[in-house]
C-alpha cells in the first residue's frame, strides 16, 4: 500500500483487514466514524441521504481508494453524512481514525489523503453537474455505466425500483427510460437485471 518503510510498518501494525460481501452496508448516515475504509479489493458505492430518507447515488470507491467523506468527518469529528454499501465483494483495510492526523507527518500519507479528497471533490462536482444540468435519461445512463465499471460486469442485478430509489425518481419514469434505452440497443432488460452495453455512446 505504501512505499515508505516507517509508514508501512505503522500501517500494518494497526490496520484491520475485513472481508465484506456484496450488498453489505458498512456505514450509515449518522454513524460515528471510528475507522477509515481503504478498499484493497472490490468496490463501494456511496449514497447521500436527505432528512426524509431519500437517497441519491454519489460515486464509487475502487481498489486503492478511500472515502473522502469519512476522512473529512473524522477530522472535524462529525458523524457520517453518507451511506456506504459494498458494490462487489470487497476486502477493506480499516484504519483507526486517530492515525489520520498522526500520520500527516508522513509525506506519503499526506499525499494519499490530499489526493483522495481532491478526487472525490471532483467526482462530487461531476455528480452535481449531472443532476443539475442533465436530463434524467442522461443521469440514468451515467449511473448504469458507472455501476457496470465498478463491478467489471455488464449485467447489473437491479430492479427498476432499486434504480429509482438511488436516482430519487418515480419507478414508472425509470421503467419508461430503460425501455427507451433498450430500444436504442444500449441495454438489455431481464427479470431483476439490466445488461449494460457501455460501448454504446448516447448523445
Q: How do the pLDDT tens digits run along the chain, 203 residues long?
A: 799 999 999 999 999 999 999 999 999 988 888 899 999 999 999 888 777 777 888 888 899 999 877 777 666 667 888 889 999 999 999 999 899 999 999 999 999 999 888 877 776 666 666 555 458 888 899 899 999 998 889 999 999 999 999 888 888 999 999 999 999 999 999 999 999 998 765 54
Domain spans, the chain: 5-132, 134-196
Four-residue CA torsion sign, 155, 161, 166, 170: positive
CATH superfamily placement of domain 5-132: Jelly Rolls (2.60.120.10)
Model pTM score: 0.71
DSSP state of 31: P
- H/E element, 38: strand 35-49
Top-tier CATH class for 134-196: mainly alpha
Q: End-to-end CA distance of the chain, in Å?
A: 39
Amino acid at each position: 500500500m505504501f512505499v515508505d518503510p516507517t509508514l508501512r510498518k505503522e500501517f500494518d501494525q494497526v490496520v484491520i483487514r475485513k472481508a465484506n460481501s456484496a450488498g453489505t452496508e458498512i456505514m450509515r448516515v449518522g454513524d460515528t466514524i471510528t475507522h477509515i475504509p481503504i478498499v484493497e479489493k472490490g468496490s463501494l458505492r456511496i449514497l447521500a441521504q436527505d432528512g426524509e430518507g431519500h437517497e441519491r447515488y454519489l460515486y464509487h470507491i475502487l481498489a486503492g481508494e478511500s472515502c473522502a467523506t469519512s476522512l473529512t468527518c473524522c477530522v472535524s469529528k462529525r458523524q457520517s453524512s453518507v451511506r456506504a454499501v459494498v458494490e462487489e465483494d470487497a476486502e477493506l483495510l480499516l484504519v483507526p481514525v486517530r492515525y489520520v492526523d498522526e500520520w500527516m507527518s508522513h509525506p506519503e500519507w499526506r499525499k494519499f489523503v490530499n489526493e483522495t479528497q481532491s478526487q472525490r471533490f471532483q467526482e462530487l462536482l461531476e455528480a452535481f453537474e449531472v443532476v443539475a444540468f442533465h436530463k434524467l435519461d442522461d443521469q440514468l445512463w451515467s449511473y448504469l455505466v458507472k455501476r457496470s465499471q465498478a463491478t467489471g460486469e455488464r449485467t447489473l442485478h437491479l430492479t427498476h425500483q432499486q434504480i429509482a430509489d438511488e436516482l430519487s425518481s418515480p419507478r414508472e419514469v425509470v421503467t419508461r427510460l430503460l425501455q427507451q434505452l433498450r430500444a436504442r440497443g444500449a441495454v438489455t432488460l431481464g427479470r431483476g437485471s439490466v445488461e449494460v452495453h457501455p460501448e454504446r455512446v448516447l448523445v
